[in-house]
């Protein structure tokens, strides 16, 4: 089993104490986002968890507790964008804190266990194509050698984020604009000697040397654990997404970074309400069981295919 922690919220930044408590307990409860009274009990002990994939903009709260992950294989997808507080209001300052945290994390766990995410790429009067080129190179220079690859994606406008994006003048890109930005990103990646891949994009960027990426990445996981795994594409994700199956233990409407483009938050009133319910000792993230809840043990197992042995 692969654990995603999490597409739905930033667990490392805001809920790492809860996560470590759940790992110590060996299980977590997860609400079904489509039916909140359906609760799964998920075994997250090391004997069934093949890898944990962390998604974060700020894993600093975890840095002094990484030794508690010694029984697990894991890697981080660490997002660093060029946006200021008008777009990412509660993400710590990149130059003063986030870049240092990235490098410190890399020094502790190794560059092969960190993927730099530069996403989503969006445009506005302030954030132009030239702006992206300038700041992507600055970040690439500052982070050089501390990550395995860079993953890029372009903003998608959903019902959840449409009003916030419009209010902040944020827009999606045309294919021509995508090509213009990606060409510069590709040139910068060659200058600093790292690979670039795209996330959940149907546009073909191969001519720039950019292939489609799997964020829940079978090949990377097999490399990290030293064994083959048997796993299928995640059918719950978009057709363009190359991720394999995982179980997400996060919860929507709980990330307090407050990013204008976020698809995981419906509105900040809900976010702050849910965040106020955070209890590090609860088996549920930012929630408590009620009499209407039905708990079902989810059947999970290791994905390691023993017949193939080590890689």
CB atoms within 10 A of CB 286: 23
The residues pairing with 195 across neighbouring beta strands, listed in sequence order, are: 149
Quick one: average pLDDT of 4-13?
97
Q: How confident is the model at residue 234 (pLDDT cuts 50, 70, 90)?
A: confident
Residue 307 is predicted with a pLDDT of: 64
Task: Say what the pLDDT of residue 308 is.
Answer: 56
| DSSP bridge partners of 39 | 31, 295
Least confident residue range of 66-80, 89-103, 293-307: 293-307
Q: What is the percent of the chain where pLDDT is above 90?
A: 81
Give Cα 38 distance to the centre of its chain.
24
- pLDDT value of residue 90: 96
- Residue 242, Cα to own-chain centre: how many angstroms? 14
Are 79 and 117 in contact by the 8 Å Cβ rule? The answer is yes
Q: Which residues contact 165 (CB under 8 A, 6 or more apart)?
A: 122, 155, 157, 171, 260, 261
Asked if the model's pLDDT at residue 309 lies above 60, the reply is no
Q: What does the alpha-carbon distance between residue 206 and residue 129 come to, in Å, rounded to a whole number? A: 20
Instruction: Return mean pLDDT, the chain.
Output: 93
Minimum mean pLDDT range among 51-55, 164-168, 222-226, 253-257: 164-168
């Amino acid at each position: 089993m692969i654990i995603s922690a999490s597409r739905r919220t930033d667990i490392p930044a805001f809920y790492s104490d809860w996560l470590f408590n759940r790992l110590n307990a060996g299980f977590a409860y997860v609400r079904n986002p489509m039916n909140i009274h359906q609760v799964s009990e998920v075994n997250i002990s090391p004997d069934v968890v093949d890898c944990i994939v962390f998604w974060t903009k700020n894993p600093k709260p975890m840095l002094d507790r990484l030794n508690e992950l010694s029984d697990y294989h894991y890697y981080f997808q660490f997002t660093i964008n060029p946006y200021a507080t008008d777009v990412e209001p509660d993400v710590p300052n990149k130059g003063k804190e986030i870049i240092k945290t990235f490098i410190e994390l890399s020094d502790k766990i190794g560059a092969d266990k960190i993927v730099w995410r530069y996403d989503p790429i969006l445009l506005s009067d302030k954030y132009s194509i030239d702006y992206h080129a300038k700041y992507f190179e600055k970040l690439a220079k500052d982070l050089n050698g501390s990550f395995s690859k860079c993953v890029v994606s372009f903003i998608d406008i959903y019902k959840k984020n449409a009003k916030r994006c419009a209010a902040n003048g944020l827009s999606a890109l045309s294919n021509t604009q995508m090509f213009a930005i990606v060409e510069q990103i590709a040139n910068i990646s060659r200058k600093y000697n790292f690979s670039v891949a795209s996330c959940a994009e149907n546009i073909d960027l191969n001519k720039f040397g950019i292939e489609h990426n799997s964020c829940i990445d079978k090949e990377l996981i097999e490399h990290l654990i030293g064994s083959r795994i048997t796993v299928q594409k995640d059918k719950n994700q978009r057709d363009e997404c190359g991720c394999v199956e995982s179980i997400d233990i996060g919860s929507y409407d709980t990330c307090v970074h407050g990013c204008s483009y976020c698809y995981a938050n419906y509105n900040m009133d809900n976010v702050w309400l849910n965040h106020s319910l955070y209890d590090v000792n609860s088996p549920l993230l930012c929630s408590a069981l009620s009499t209407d809840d039905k708990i079902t043990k989810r059947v999970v197992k290791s994905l390691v295919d023993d017949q193939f042995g080590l890689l």
